[in-house]
Structure 1
Amino acid sequence: MTSQTISTKTDALYDLYAEWSELMAENPEMSLRTLRALFDEWHQPTVEPEGVTYREDTVGGVPGIWCLPHGADESQVMMFTHGGGFAVGSASSHRKLAGHVAKTLGVVSFVLDYRRAPEHPHPAQVEDGVAVFDALVAAGTEPENITTIGDSAGGNLAIAIPLALKEQGKALPGQVIAFSPWLDMENKGKTLETNNDTDALITPALLEGMIAGVLGEDIDPKTPLANPLYADFTDYPRLYMNAGSVESLVDNAQRLEDIAQSAGVDVTLNVAEGQQHVFPFLAGRSEVVDQELNRIKNWYTSGR
């Protein structure tokens, strides 16, 4: 694990999270539709990447948005699963972030609008990811040229989709990238307490509501495809994770790093000092994120 100590010159992401937290506190009965509209603002701290175009499409029955950087290698595909507690967030809220990563790596990215909870509980989200992967392979993309990538709950899915593929005896993606992955469906991570005063968005109560929505009353929070902290990572693809040092979910990535290393996985974790949940949303306005994207590029190219 490495730790980055450069601070950002902007608090745009913190400010957005603080505003959301205030609005949710003032409106405890906020409707899901309103909450989803609120979280579709997630793209606001991200500068629009230059030289990237977008195209709506449906892949494997799952709608989404292609991010197409100019000159990208279209044989290499990122499957991007957005964050938002499995219930909010969308391809639209994450397309700019996905576009920055795709441009940096010189690949194309498909951002999934997977089925969301609570209308569609687990494992619907994982099933949609598997369907997209299968469709990409059927269309001619080599499995090793596919990267599952996501943030927060989408980071959970980026990690869980290869586990589901492994269970089904299928070929796996070549690599996995997770930004601030939310993995602990038991809601008992130590940094939920130690970083409670520094995380501008995540609270145990917020996560409890999200867990109830995706797992309901019938799904065990230790189910490996819902909570990868209980999964078998034998023969798992190489894995890159990052998190912010002041966010409440940082120990999810740290715990998974230990589990994956014990299983022999090639795993890299970068904890960025002073950064909030999914700090790469500051792409285009933060030196920290510029350096992080370059770090991911070096990691990605080193494994090709």
Structure 2
Amino acid sequence: MASKESEAVRRHWAKSRAAAEQDTREGDQELDDHRWAELTTEPSDVDYLSVDGREALWINPHNAATDRVLLCLHGGGYVGGSRYSHRKLFAHLAKAVGSRALVFDYPMAPAHTHPAQLDHAVDTYRWLLNQGLAPEHIVFAGDSVGGGMAITTQLRARSIGLPLPAGALPFSPAVDFEATGASYDGNRDRDAFFHRDLVRGLAYLFLGPDGSPRDPFVNPLYGDLTGLGPIYIQVGGDEVLLDDANMLAEAAEKAGVDVRLDVFPEMQHTFQMAAGRAPEADDAIQRMARWARPVLGL
């Protein structure tokens, strides 16, 4: 049974859905970053440092390894989210792993359509490499659309000759913008926020009139995952995006990638945002940390 503390995530998404429906009527597509960030407690013994010339934050847990980095890609449907909405979430993860993390902003839709977001993510990864970080000491981590970008950024980086990172931690990944998964029907009455029309609407804003949801740099299920480092996927059992995670895990396994998938029963989309508050979120963070440490060589 889901904990009482985890119900805060369900309430958050229910309120967000009501607000999104109101915003749609009024033509405003932005998500409320501040309400999102309230789900996560402030972790102790973590410092934040702005990055000169970049819309990014270094997350520095005390006594963390300085030569290992989580490159963090925030969610928000490409219309919301920021380094500020997600800094505490990724700080909990970085602290548990014992590494630094970098969380950054990327251009938002509809003002900026694909591939602006992906290009910015690749540029940030290139910048990180230019700081002297070894690719085998970097793991990509991302939630929702950031989880999808944790894979597509690798595909785009490889296509221009950049080395691949050590691995990826996508949680509640959004990859199928055609919304074809059976879980859209099976979890329709369980997911407090997402539904098929909403996802397709976000896809239109993100892709614009000329973009394709089958572009492999949009949906990695159409890409070549061969040669990618290990992937650990987490997803909530009550999400309509459950099959996005299932399909990504299946595609990675078929490509010969070392992949692990954990489904958390009764959990909502990005339930890890309740880190420090809900036991399920803390358990998920600790599982990611145990997986990431050996991948990073810690």
TM-score by length of 2: 0.95
* Residue 169 of structure 1, CA deviation: 2.2
**For residues 27 and 226 of structure 1, do their structure 2 counterparts lie closer, same or farther at Cα, with a shift above 3 Å needed?**
closer
The question of 1:84 aligning with 2:48 is answered no
Counterpart for residue 20 of structure 2: 24
Q: 1:257 aligns with which of 249, 254, 278?
A: 249
For 2:23 and 2:116, locate their aligned partners in 1 and report how far apart those are by CA, in whole Å: 29
Counterpart for residue 147 of structure 2: 155
Contact (CA 8 Å) 1:40, 1:89: kept in 2 or not?
A: no
For 1:86 and 1:25, locate their aligned partners in 2 and report how far apart those are by CA, in whole Å: 17
Q: 1:46 aligns with which of 34, 40, 46?
A: 40
Counterpart for residue 201 of structure 1: 193
> Alpha-carbon deviations, 1:76-96, whole Å to 9, x = none?
111111101111111111111
Counterpart for residue 97 of structure 1: 89
Contact (CA 8 Å) 1:82, 1:111: kept in 2 or not?
A: yes
Secondary structure of 1:243's aligned partner? strand
The 5 Å alignment of 1:75-224 reads: 75-224=67-216
For 2:210 and 2:24, locate their aligned partners in 1 and report how far apart those are by CA, in whole Å: 25
Secondary structure of 2:87's aligned partner? helix
* Residue 55 of structure 1, CA deviation: 1.8
For 2:4 and 2:168, locate their aligned partners in 1 and report how far apart those are by CA, in whole Å: 29
The question of 1:248 aligning with 2:243 is answered no
For 1:182 and 1:143, locate their aligned partners in 2 and report how far apart those are by CA, in whole Å: 24
Contact (CA 8 Å) 1:162, 1:173: kept in 2 or not?
A: yes
Number of matched pairs: 295
Contact (CA 8 Å) 1:62, 1:114: kept in 2 or not?
A: no
**For residues 287 and 76 of structure 1, do their structure 2 counterparts lie closer, same or farther at Cα, with a shift above 3 Å needed?**
same
Counterpart for residue 14 of structure 1: 10
Counterpart for residue 275 of structure 1: 267
Query: C-alpha root-mean-square deviation of aligned residues, in Å?
Result: 1.5
Return the letter of the residue paired with 1:29. R
For 2:20 and 2:245, locate their aligned partners in 1 and report how far apart those are by CA, in whole Å: 26
Contact (CA 8 Å) 1:62, 1:128: kept in 2 or not?
A: no
Counterpart for residue 235 of structure 1: 227
Contact (CA 8 Å) 1:24, 1:30: kept in 2 or not?
A: no
For 1:24 and 1:130, locate their aligned partners in 2 and report how far apart those are by CA, in whole Å: 30
> Alpha-carbon deviations, 1:254-289, whole Å to 9, x = none?
011111001110111110011000110110012212
For 2:201 and 2:50, locate their aligned partners in 1 and report how far apart those are by CA, in whole Å: 31
Using the TM superposition, name which of 268-277 and 109-118 deviates more. 109-118
For 2:245 and 2:19, locate their aligned partners in 1 and report how far apart those are by CA, in whole Å: 28
Secondary structure of 1:181's aligned partner? coil
Once the two structures are aligned, what percentage of the paired residues are identical?
35
For 2:191 and 2:44, locate their aligned partners in 1 and report how far apart those are by CA, in whole Å: 30
For 1:300 and 1:219, locate their aligned partners in 2 and report how far apart those are by CA, in whole Å: 34
For 2:24 and 2:174, locate their aligned partners in 1 and report how far apart those are by CA, in whole Å: 23
Using the TM superposition, name which of 140-149 and 283-292 deviates more. 283-292
Return the letter of the residue paired with 2:43. P
Using the TM superposition, name which of 291-300 and 245-254 deviates more. 291-300
Return the letter of the residue paired with 1:8. S
> Alpha-carbon deviations, 1:156-210, whole Å to 9, x = none?
1111111111112221111101110000021211111110100011111211221
* Residue 302 of structure 1, CA deviation: 3.0
Name stretches of at least 5 consecutive residues in structure 1 with no aligned partner.
Answer: 1-5
TM-score by length of 1: 0.93
The list of structure 1 runs, each at least 4 consecutive aligned residues, that deviate by more than 3 angstroms after superposition, is 30-33
Counterpart for residue 3 of structure 1: none
* Residue 62 of structure 1, CA deviation: 4.2
Name stretches of at least 5 consecutive residues in structure 2 with no aligned partner.
Answer: none
